[in-house]
C-alpha cells in the first residue's frame, strides 16, 4: 500500500458507515480517481472522488466512495476530517468542506461531467438555485450507511458510500415513481453516476429538502414519553405505505404468490432461524415454538402478491412533514446483496418491518409500551387497509422472522439491547395460537 492507501485503511475503520467493523482491513487500493475540482493556480482547494477497495481479514473485498479535499493551507472555518498529510498537503473528507460541496452541487445542477463521473439534473430547472452562491451548507450527523449534505434548507445531497455495480435501487425507485402526483416521496432532482472497474455505479442523488421534517423514530420515542403522535398519525402513515406499494406495483409490476414462491419464502425464514439458533443461545428455549410458527405454509395455502417493496421499512425511514408522511431510503436492507434488494417480495414484509419498529420504540421508552404499541399498530394497520385473515397469518410470521433477525443483530452489535427483540420473540410465540385471526 502507498502511504495514502494505508492512511485510508485506518480512516475507513473509524467511519460510522463502514460495514466491516467486526473485522480488520488487510489492504486498501485506490481503484478509481476522478478530479471534481482541479488543483487551483491560487491557494484554494482541490477535490477528488476516490473509489477504494478494502480487502478485509476474511478475504472479502468492500468498495467505498470517498470524496476528498486537498489543501496546502487550511482556513480556520474548515472543520476537516483529516485522512493524511501527503507532501505537505492535507487530504481530508470533502463532505466537511462547504466550498467543495457547493461546487459539487453546481456540477449536478449544470450537468457537467468530469472524466468517468457523470452529473445529471433530473428535472428541468429544479436546481437553478443551486448554481447561485450563498446557500448554507451543513452535513447531517445522523447515524446512517451513507452521507448526506443539506444546502440552504432547500436541497439534500446523499452520497452512497458503498460502491456497488448498477443503478442504486433508491435512485431507480425515485426515477420510476417520482412523477406520480401525490406520491409520498421527495422526488429526485439530480444524480451522480460513474464508470468504475465494477461497471456503472450510482454515486449520489439530490432531492428536495423539507425543513422541519422529523423522522418517525424520533417522534415515536417522544410519543412513548409524551404523546407527540396521535393514532390518526399512524393511520396516515399506514395509508402512505399502501400508496407507495401501489405505486411500486404500477412501476415495476407484480405477480401472485404461488405455492412454490411461498415455499421459497418460508424456506428463507427457516435458514435465518437456523443461523440465529446456532449463534444466539438465548433463542434456544423458544426453538419449538419458532419452528412451528415460521412453518406457516403447513397451516394452509398462502395467498397474496409479490412485487418491489421498500425492503428496509422502519420508523427511521419515514419523515413527518406539515403535509403528511414521506418515505425515504429505498435502497433495501443494507446487508442484502444487490440482487436481493431488488427482488420481488410480499408487501407484508414492509408492514411487518414497521410493526416491529413501533414495538421497538415502545419497549425502549416506556413502562406501558405494549399498550401504546398496540394502539399505534392497530391505527397503522387500519390506515394500510386490506389485510385479510389469510394475510394475517403470513404477517405474523414476517414479524417473528424480523424479531429473530433483530436478536441476532443486537447480539453481534449491541448486546445490551438483546432483551428488546427477545421480549418480542417471547410475546409473538406465545400469541401464535391466535395468529389465524385478524385483529
Residues 86-125: pLDDT tens digits? 888 899 999 989 989 998 998 899 987 878 889 999 988 8
CA distance readout (Å), 11 to 1, 31, 79 = 14, 17, 16
Convert the pLDDT of each residue in 378-432 to its tens digit. Answer: 999 999 999 988 789 899 999 999 999 999 999 988 899 999 999 999 999 986 5
Which runs of consecutive H residues, i.e. helices, occur in 280-345? 287-294, 338-342
pLDDT of residue 371: 81
pLDDT of residue 125: 82
Lowest mean pLDDT among 43-57, 219-233, 326-340: 219-233
Per the CB < 8 A criterion, the answer to whether 55 and 27 are in contact is yes
Please, what CATH class does the domain formed by 98-208 belong to?
alpha beta
Percent of the chain with pLDDT strictly greater than 90? 58
Convert the pLDDT of each residue in 332-346 to its tens digit. Answer: 987 788 899 999 999
Q: The C-alpha cell of 320 is what?
A: 413527518
Domain ranges of the chain: 3-93, 98-208, 214-434
What is the layout of strands, in order, in the sheet containing 318-321? 214-215, 318-321, 324-327
pLDDT of residue 79: 85
pLDDT of residue 223: 57
Looking from the CA of 334 toward its CB, the CA atoms found within 13 Å total 14
Q: What architecture is the 3-93 domain classified under in CATH?
A: Roll (3.10)
Q: The C-alpha cell of 126 is what?
A: 429544479
Per the CB < 8 A criterion, the answer to whether 5 and 29 are in contact is yes
pLDDT of residue 35: 83
Per the CB < 8 A criterion, the answer to whether 241 and 350 are in contact is yes
pLDDT for residue 439 is more than 50:
no
Convert the pLDDT of each residue in 46-79 to its tens digit. Answer: 899 999 999 999 999 999 999 999 998 888 888 8
Which runs of consecutive H residues, i.e. helices, occur in 122-230? 169-177, 216-226
Residues 6+ apart with CB under 8 A from 265: 257, 302, 346
Convert the pLDDT of each residue in 200-211 to its tens digit. Answer: 999 999 999 999
Torsion of CA 426, 430, 432, 435, to 10 degrees: -90
CATH superfamily of 214-434: Aminoglycoside phosphotransferase (APH), C-terminal lobe (3.90.1200.10)
Which runs of consecutive H residues, i.e. helices, occur in 120-227? 169-177, 216-226
Distance CA 378, CA 386 (A): 13
Convert the pLDDT of each residue in 275-296 to its tens digit. Answer: 999 999 999 999 999 998 888 8
DSSP helix/strand/coil, 333? coil
Please state whether the predicted TM-score (pTM) of the whole model is above 0.95. no
Amino acid at each position: 500500500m502507498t502511504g495514502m492507501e494505508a492512511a485510508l485503511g485506518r480512516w475507513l475503520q473509524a467511519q460510522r458507515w463502514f460495514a466491516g467493523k467486526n473485522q480488520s482491513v488487510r489492504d486498501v487500493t485506490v481503484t478509481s480517481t476522478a478530479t471534481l475540482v482541479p488543483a487551483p493556480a491560487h491557494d484554494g482547494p482541490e477535490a477528488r472522488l476516490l473509489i477504494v477497495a478494502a480487502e478485509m481479514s476474511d478475504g472479502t473485498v468492500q468498495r467505498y466512495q470517498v470524496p476528498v479535499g486537498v489543501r496546502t493551507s487550511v482556513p480556520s472555518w474548515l472543520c476537516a476530517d483529516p485522512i493524511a498529510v501527503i507532501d505537505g498537503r492535507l487530504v481530508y473528507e470533502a463532505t466537511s468542506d462547504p466550498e467543495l460541496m457547493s461546487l459539487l452541487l453546481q456540477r449536478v445542477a449544470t450537468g457537467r461531467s468530469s472524466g468517468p463521473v457523470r452529473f445529471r439534473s433530473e428535472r428541468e430547472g429544479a436546481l437553478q438555485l443551486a448554481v447561485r452562491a450563498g446557500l448554507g451548507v451543513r452535513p447531517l450527523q445522523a447515524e446512517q450507511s451513507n452521507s448526506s449534505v443539506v444546502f440552504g434548507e432547500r436541497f439534500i445531497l446523499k452520497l452512497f458510500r458503498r460502491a456497488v455495480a448498477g443503478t442504486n435501487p433508491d435512485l431507480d425507485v425515485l426515477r420510476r415513481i417520482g412523477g406520480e402526483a401525490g406520491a409520498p416521496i421527495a422526488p429526485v432532482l439530480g444524480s451522480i453516476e460513474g464508470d468504475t472497474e465494477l461497471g456503472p455505479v450510482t454515486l449520489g442523488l439530490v432531492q428536495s429538502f423539507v425543513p422541519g421534517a422529523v423522522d418517525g423514530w424520533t417522534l415515536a420515542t417522544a410519543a412513548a414519553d409524551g404523546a407527540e403522535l396521535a393514532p390518526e398519525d399512524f393511520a396516515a402513515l399506514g395509508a402512505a405505505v399502501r400508496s407507495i406499494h401501489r405505486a411500486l406495483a404500477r412501476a415495476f409490476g407484480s405477480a401472485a404468490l404461488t405455492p412454490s414462491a411461498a415455499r421459497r419464502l418460508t424456506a428463507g425464514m427457516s435458514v435465518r432461524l437456523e443461523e440465529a439458533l446456532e449463534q444466539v443461545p438465548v433463542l434456544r428455549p423458544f426453538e419449538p415454538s419458532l419452528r412451528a410458527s415460521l412453518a406457516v405454509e403447513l397451516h394452509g395455502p398462502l395467498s397474496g402478491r409479490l412485487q418491489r417493496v421498500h425492503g428496509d421499512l422502519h420508523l427511521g425511514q419515514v419523515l413527518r412533514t406539515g403535509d403528511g408522511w414521506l418515505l425515504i431510503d429505498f435502497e433495501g436492507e443494507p446487508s442484502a446483496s444487490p440482487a436481493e434488494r431488488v427482488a420481488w417480495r410480499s408487501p407484508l414484509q414492509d408492514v411487518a418491518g414497521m410493526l416491529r419498529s413501533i414495538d421497538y420504540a415502545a419497549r425502549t421508552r416506556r413502562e406501558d409500551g405494549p399498550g401504546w404499541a398496540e394502539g399505534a399498530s392497530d391505527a397503522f394497520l387500519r390506515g394500510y387497509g386490506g389485510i385479510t385473515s389469510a394475510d394475517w397469518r403470513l404477517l405474523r410470521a414476517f414479524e417473528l422472522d424480523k424479531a429473530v433477525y433483530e436478536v441476532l443483530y443486537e447480539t453481534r452489535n449491541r448486546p445490551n439491547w438483546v432483551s428488546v427483540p427477545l421480549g418480542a420473540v417471547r410475546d409473538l410465540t406465545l400469541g401464535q395460537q391466535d395468529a389465524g385471526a385478524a385483529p
